[in-house]
Amino acid sequence: EADIYQTPRYLVIGTGKKITLECSQTMGHDKMYWYQQDPGMELHLIHYSYGVNSTEKGDLSSESTVSRIRTEHFPLTLESARPSHTSQYLCASSDSYEQYFGPGTRLTVT
């Protein structure tokens, strides 16, 4: 079944650690997105990609980086995690107008 996957679902990690949040989709979509979601706030776009080797920063400033080497894979990396990175991270993909979301990764940095 075509779907979008995120791992891990939950992560608690100490300050200064390097982490990678994984996102994969089996829908064959060219466009992929990373959003940050905090309680009571809008989803904010932090990165997007329109295809392999294409990545752009979104509206919300983020210290994370992304890569798109394969169509189905769009990982997000934090080189040095800080408590301010504590949030939920949602990955989405699209082949037209509507976006399809993964289940999210809830990150806590202690």
**Residue 43 within binding range of other proteins, rule CB under 8 A:** yes
Rule CB under 8 A: say whether 103 interacts with other proteins.
yes
What one-character-per-residue DSSP string does 2-54 give? --EEEE-SEEEE-TT--EEEEEEESS--SEEEEEEE-TTS--EEEEEEEETTE
Assess 59 for contact with other proteins (CB under 8 A): yes
Judge contact between 58 and 44, C-beta under 8 A.
Answer: yes
Please tell me whether residue 86 binds other proteins under the rule CB under 8 A: no
Name the residue type at position 90. Answer: L
Does position 94 bind other proteins by CB under 8 A?
Answer: yes
Please report, as ranges, the residues that interact with other proteins according to CB under 8 A: 4, 6, 9, 30-31, 33, 40-43, 45, 48, 50, 58-59, 90, 92, 94-104, 106
